[in-house]
Amino acid sequence: MVQQNESILKNLKDVQSLRGLLRSEMSISDPEEGKVIATIKVYNDAPASPDGGDIVFLGVGLRITVGRERGGLPSEINKSRPSYRMELRQKYDEGTWIGGTGDSFPAATEDEQSHGEVLFPGESVVYEIKTSRAELSYLDIRVEGSVSRRHLFHVSEPMEALKALTQPLVAQTFHFLDAIDFYSPLLSIIDVMPELGPQTTLADIDAFRSAVGKARDHVGKVMKELNNVYHSAPNQKLRDYMKMGIGQYLTSATKVCDRTLEALSGSDTKKMKEAAEELRNHLLKAEEVKRGQKELMSQFGIDS
């Protein structure tokens, strides 16, 4: 009986540990005299799961209790949703459901959305409370939410027998992507990027301009190659990554290169420096895109 009780307590603790994945952080700023803004970010820190068992928080919001006897709630409370993971929500609508006559498994029901925010893994909601520092001292602010039982126990199991047929096509797609050198010509710009100060020579600027121009031409070439791989990809997740990951990165790179070339064609050193810094920051985002491919390969069970 003792061992059974200990096992129940352990399982209970494991379930309760899920609560710790609904995280929050708060900061206080003084934008104007006599007023403060309390910014509260609430986010779902759970990892994403490709095969069901998502840790989704429902009814997320703030519970504010006023401690002052005759006090009231702050007059200005604003809410924003800076992050939606549409790929996590859309997976519930993929394909055609062969089962019943109703919806297969909606990402969020009307009732679930009516009780507060719905946060999938990686999503967040931000609240801004504008009040006085004195009034803020009398507020008890709590973040609340519930783990969705419906999502937590949802199962989505792929047919292993199909893996022998689909895996070679998936592996071939990643091979094609690896064969296209998306990033090296772009990242090589950083090596010739001058400091753009009083000591910068015209030769430095010309070399930089030439590298940016070549990189921009390179993007136009590889976008065509990417388009061919996109249409031959055997899986929607692969196409989504190519479009939202690589494609968006390259499209933005073209725009940033254009702005940089325009700045380098003028004589304003400050604008040149700002454009170069913007270009550098964007180019370094290539690591995020590469990491996305590694994560996707891992999901398909393919070694990088």
The answer on 284 and 180 residing in a single domain is yes
Residue that terminates a domain, selected from 152, 172, 201: 152
The CA distance from 150 to 56, in Å, is 9
Segment 93-121 shows an average pLDDT of 87
The CA distance from 35 to 278, in Å, is 34
115 within some domain:
yes
Conformational region of residue 146, where left means phi above 0, alpha means psi within -120 to 50, and beta covers everything else:
beta
CATH assignment of the domain containing 13: 2.60.40.10
Report residue 7's pLDDT band, with 50, 70 and 90 as the boundaries.
Answer: low
What does the pLDDT look like over 274-291, one tens digit per residue?
888 898 898 889 999 999
The CA distance from 303 to 182, in Å, is 20
What does the pLDDT look like over 157-183, one tens digit per residue?
888 888 889 999 999 999 999 999 998
The answer on 212 and 112 residing in a single domain is no
Which pTM does this prediction carry? 0.66
The answer on 105 and 195 residing in a single domain is no
Write the CB contacts of 188 (distance below 8 Å, at least 6 apart in sequence): 211, 215
The answer on 289 and 177 residing in a single domain is yes
Q: If 0-12 CB within 10 Å is exposed, 13-18 middle and 19+ buried, where does residue 113 land?
A: middle
84 within some domain:
yes
The CA distance from 233 to 246, in Å, is 14
**pLDDT for residue 203:** 86
The answer on 190 and 148 residing in a single domain is no
Q: What is the 3-state secondary structure (H, E, C) of 15-51?
A: HHHHHHHEEEEEEEEEEECCEEEEEEEEEECCCCCCC
Write the CB contacts of 77 (distance below 8 Å, at least 6 apart in sequence): 127, 128, 129, 130
**pLDDT for residue 221:** 92
* Structural domain span for residue 284: 160-299
Mean pLDDT over the full length of the chain: 87
- Asked if 88 contacts 54 with a C-beta cutoff of 8 angstroms, the reply is yes
Residue that terminates a domain, selected from 101, 120, 152: 152
The answer on 146 and 237 residing in a single domain is no
Strand partners, 60: 117
Q: Total structural domains in the chain?
A: 2
Handedness of CA 13, 18, 21, 25 (dihedral sign): negative
Segment 4-17 shows an average pLDDT of 60
The per-type count for the chain, helices as H runs and strands as E runs, is 12, 7
The pair of three-digit structure tokens given for residue 21, joined into one six-digit string = 């994945």
Which secondary structure element, helix H or strand E, spans residue 222, and what is its range? helix 202-232
% of residues, the chain, pLDDT over 70: 94
Residue that terminates a domain, selected from 152, 170, 202: 152
88 within some domain:
yes
Q: What are phi and psi of 42, to 5 degrees?
A: -115, 130
Segment 92-101 shows an average pLDDT of 81
Strand partners, 38: 28, 129
